[in-house]
Chains A and B, each alone.
Chain A
């Protein structure tokens, strides 16, 4: 604890102030990320944690890393956001019911063990040690120094990692790619189809839904001249869901009768 206080005392005053303001905020957001119910709120808090980390990096002289952290992780969290929307649903919320019995104590135990390991390791590596070499590493500027390391000493690792990432991206595309069996009909094909097949009744487009002047909602089929409902005038989706209203009450003769009843 004394060591920690000494460390904080040694850092520049503005940096320490910033740390004690942003640090707790980052921790609260990180905890909130685990505890909030809605998945989208989790994603937002995650973006916030990433941005605070980026500010810490910048304050510690790793300017390039900080900025790249924002660029990369905001994009990544955006992807997460899209995954939530597409896979889990717009209003998804976690249920807190334990599906497998006894999993929670194990998770908490693992969390404490792993957390303790991390804290002790990082603490041993940093507390009580003088930070050296930052100025000499950044002597020619942060970006050139980083570029020199990346493209000389670590060029092999760098290229291998990028090859790995590209392979992963390609693999995901191959797996998700759905090969089209038929060519998708173009507007021209559809137009030709309308004229060459069947009757010419629908060449000018399908009938609009609704009963003229009485009911024009999309869930009411139009009436044919003989008084029967036109099934093509409503969306097949609505029909499948059973959201269609019967249009016969709005038929002209019936409507007049019902109006008469009202009077």
Chain B
């Protein structure tokens, strides 16, 4: 029985229970994520991080949240009041919606009812996540526009440009997964990865998705929409109190959501690591949820690691990277994947497909080598002209050692 069929038999109250479960998980994950991020970044910067409130500082984000809620709620005089209030609500509601199609466990029994920890299974589940993400950006853009101030407007515009360009790359990276899984449903994509994870089979897609998911969530090194060095706080400069807290919540829930999608599409979802498949039947199947969250936490750690390591990109470099590197690379990769898929469906021998793959790799290697050497030649040619000084300077002594010296002594 497929997951879609199992979910089709769910009564209403089970769906409600799962909805509440997903909501609680997402909010708790946010609280833990903020604490974990601060502790991990602190460790990376040779600090200790928050360790006062609760054991190991675990309750720090809870107390921060209470403090935030008790602050004064300001609405600027120049703001467009209705849109100003709606914007954080859009951000905070859409971020939860993508969890509805994420399969968090295999078939389990919940209150004596056979089901799976996934609210619904759409045949176009992954597209649904993309659609929700593109609605979520409205929160940021409207926040930037409605604040009636320059920095938030710039932040909002940057974020819209960023999301439009990185969503293209993200969508293209998913196409290869659709081609291989033969479906856009999240549960079927997970089922198709029982043997091989797509992070291995479709490694380039995985890399492109991983990069564009950082761009999509506005996280360092791509956090240009709220670059505090240039734009004060970016789109949320004018927000305070609970409205700011909603943006904060949305950012972290979004991180968990894209990590969950990456886990589903590329790391085999709730399946165990290869060689540990026997653990999937532990606790009546509930152990799969541990595997799922272990993978999500892995991605979250990568997010924090990036933030602790890389400086923010310059805006033009960031856009150039998206349009001139990620999108052409994904298009090229989709062509290869589609060709290989058609070859294997037409019954070409394994050797033929492998030969094609090796041929492509060779062509790419030769191409990049030729490009590199051509670039080096073109760089070195004008360099010589420029370095000709236009004012008199003593000749640079050559370091040829004895021959130069002998010339001097002869002279």
Contact = CB atoms under 8 A, between A and B. Distances in A.
Contact of A74 (B80, B131, B390): B131
A70 B131 contact: yes
A51 interface: yes
A71 B126 CA distance: 12
B124 A64 contact: yes
A163 to B, nearest CB: 16
A4 interface: no
A68 B153 CA distance: 28
16 contacts: A40-B83, A44-B142, A63-B122, A67-B122, A70-B132, A74-B135, A74-B138, A75-B164, A78-B141, A78-B160, A79-B164, A81-B145, A81-B160, A85-B153, A90-B153, A91-B148
B157 A82 contact: yes
A51 B141 contact: no
A185 to B, nearest CB: 13
Contacts of B142: 44
Contacts of A47: 138
B137 interface: yes
A143 interface: yes
Interface in A226-246: none
Nearest to A141: B123
Contacts of B167: 75
Prevailing SS type, chain B contact patch: helix
Interface in B32-89: 80, 83
Contacts of A41: 83
Contacts of A248: none
Contacts of A91: 148
Contacts of B132: 70
A124 interface: no
Contact of B127 (A68, A74, A85): A68
Contacts of B130: 71
B134 A85 contact: no
A: interface residue count bin: 20 to 34
B189 interface: no
Given A40-B145, A44-B142, A142 B123 contact: yes
Interface in A83-139: 85, 90-91
Given A44-B142, A64-B124, A70 B134 contact: yes
Given A74-B131, A142-B124, A143-B184, 15 more contacts: A38-B80, A51-B135, A63-B124, A64-B127, A67-B127, A70-B134, A70-B135, A71-B130, A74-B137, A75-B134, A78-B137, A78-B141, A78-B160, A82-B160, A142-B123
Nearest to A54: B131
B356 interface: no
Contacts of B122: 63, 67
A202 B153 CA distance: 34
Interface in B167-182: 167
Prevailing SS type, chain A contact patch: helix
A38 B83 CA distance: 12
A147 B157 CA distance: 35
A178 B250 CA distance: 39
B128 interface: yes
Most buried by B among A44, A63, A142: A44
A196 interface: yes
B234 to A, nearest CB: 16
A206 to B, nearest CB: 20
B177 to A, nearest CB: 15
Interface string B142-167: 10010010000100010010001001
A67 B184 CA distance: 12
A78 B164 CA distance: 9
Contact of B145 (A70, A79, A90, A196): A90
Most buried by B among A68, A71, A141: A71
A68 B130 CA distance: 10
Interface in A198-239: none
Contacts of B131: 67, 70-71, 74
